Amino acid sequence: MKAVGARLPRYDGLGHVTGRTAYVDDVRVAGMLWTKALRSPHHFAAVRSVDTRKAEELAGVHAAVTHADVPKNLYGHLEALGVPADEPLLADGEVRYKGQPIAAVAAEDEATALAALDLIEVEYEEREPFFDVRKAFDPDAPRIHPWGPVYPHFGPHDHRRIRKGDVAAAFDRADLVVQGVYRPTAIEHCPVEPQTGLAVPEVHGRLTIYSCTQAMYFSMGVVAAHLEWPLNKLKFVGGTVGGGFGGKVDTATETICALLAIKSQRPVKWRWTREEEFLASSTRAPWHMEIADAVTSDGWIIGRRMLTLHDAGAYTRFSSYGLTKHSFHHTGAYTIPNLDFNGYVVYTNRVPTTAMRGFGVTSISFATEMQMNRIAKVLDLDPWEVRLKNANRVGDTSANWVALSDPSTVPVVQAAAKRVGVELKPEFRLMTKDRRSGDLLPDHLVEQLVSTDGGES
């Protein structure tokens, strides 16, 4: 245990302070071309035609690609689980968000590549875009995908469901129902290193791909799938990431660099501008969350009904996974015995949304903590006491029936109170995370709130 508690030098620290750490943009390969992408100027439009011929004829341009150049254009991260692919690498027939790539060129330098984009001819037919998840089920809402307004593959349902206990009985017994609507907005990850990729065609036919991905094997799989290549023809070099925060989980540059490298047989780099980062890179999703809690007048939450609308943006990517995590955490750090949760992944004409620091969970943590404050305010109770009463205890089960063996809510809330100088009453200061013993629990709620599974997991 020599390392635990010791301050060890960072293995990459010297590289960072000497400027020697080589990020993708710092890799030098002779004969390298630069990439620029033609992106949709519209939020939602039909693409009637794309013609890159004039761009390809421009001096200094080595290759251009459109959807027609991609062996397998449509991709879905959850195809292995039987969920159909829904996102084209390069737009084919339709653009569903502003900034969606339609074509890309590789040229001697960035200025030439930009000039080539101006020579690509695209005919659009604009459509009315859709942004408000609350209107997704309106009959006159624009239809973004042919299968409907939401992701339909949660088993037999078109939404993620959780049913636990008897929520109707809880609402019958409640002294009061406390409702809240919580709507955290999108956040751009904004790493200082923009999305950057470099694909090098090797003489033996393989591709070496320098990647700033946070998820090497995801990205390798994505590139291999689009190219319909076996993995052993790809060599990925990565692990040096100039900030990601979840925004470099989705594969942004590598596949298009690979296609252009194969077509031009030259090394191809694509470094996004900051404008592209803000326009077209994925963000944390905006969430719409409606909570109704059945509470007792002394501050016990005995039931929760919840509706979540998760804004996926234009394509699914990992949204269904994020919403599932969200549903598992929808009681926060607290135990509520009776639950009815419905969550929908809703499509809009925003950029596709993705992971960011606690994918799906930060939204519900925000909503739950705001709701705890609201309950305390409505009941005129101390918000610390409401939290401690309802805190997870050993033996409680989470929303998805995982028995908690070491929940930390009680000690964390107590420590937080201490740090900010809040004096808790003795009965709350002495609470422990141990199995509910009925502490402060009225008799009529013992049956509801004391675990009956008979043991710790």
Interface positions with another protein (CB under 8 A): 2-3, 5-10, 12-23, 25-26, 28, 189-194, 241-245, 271, 273-274
Q: How far is the CB of 241 from another protein (least distance, A)?
A: 6
Closest CA to 277 of 245, 310, 316: 245
Nearer to another protein, 301 or 356 (CB): 356
Q: How far is the CB of 3 from another protein (least distance, A)?
A: 5
Nearer to another protein, 9 or 155 (CB): 9
The total number of residues written for the chain in this structure: 457
The CA-atom distances, in angstroms, between 22 and each of 18, 25, 237, 240 are 11, 8, 11, 7
Closest CA to 159 of 369, 312, 285, 301: 312
Q: How far is the CB of 270 from another protein (least distance, A)?
A: 13
Q: How far is the CB of 15 from another protein (least distance, A)?
A: 7
Nearer to another protein, 6 or 203 (CB): 6
Give the C-alpha separation, 22 to 403, whole Å: 45
Closest CA to 176 of 262, 299, 87: 299
Nearer to another protein, 21 or 397 (CB): 21
CB 255 within 8 A of CB 195: no
Nearer to another protein, 240 or 398 (CB): 240
Give the C-alpha separation, 49 to 61, whole Å: 21
Q: How far is the CB of 13 from another protein (least distance, A)?
A: 5
DSSP string for residues in 89-117: SS--SEE-STT-EEEEEEESSHHHHHHHH
Nearer to another protein, 4 or 80 (CB): 4
DSSP 14: H
Q: How far is the CB of 277 from another protein (least distance, A)?
A: 9
Q: How far is the CB of 351 from another protein (least distance, A)?
A: 18
For residue 338, count other CB atoms closer than 10 A to its CB: 21
Nearer to another protein, 7 or 204 (CB): 7
Give the C-alpha separation, 173 to 240, whole Å: 56
Nearer to another protein, 244 or 395 (CB): 244
Q: How far is the CB of 107 from another protein (least distance, A)?
A: 14
Structure token pair of residue 110: 């960035």
Nearer to another protein, 83 or 187 (CB): 187
Structure token pair of residue 397: 């089960």
Burial category of 151 from C-beta neighbours within 10 Å (exposed 0-12, middle 13-18, buried 19 and up): buried
* Residue at 133: amino acid letter: V
Identify the H or E element spanning 409.
Answer: helix 409-419
Residue with tokens 């949304």: 353
DSSP string for residues in 353-389: B---SSTTHHHHHHHHHHHHHHHHHHHT--HHHHHHH
Q: How far is the CB of 30 from another protein (least distance, A)?
A: 12
Nearer to another protein, 27 or 370 (CB): 27
Give the C-alpha separation, 170 to 31, whole Å: 69
Give the C-alpha separation, 117 to 112, whole Å: 9
Q: How far is the CB of 357 from another protein (least distance, A)?
A: 11
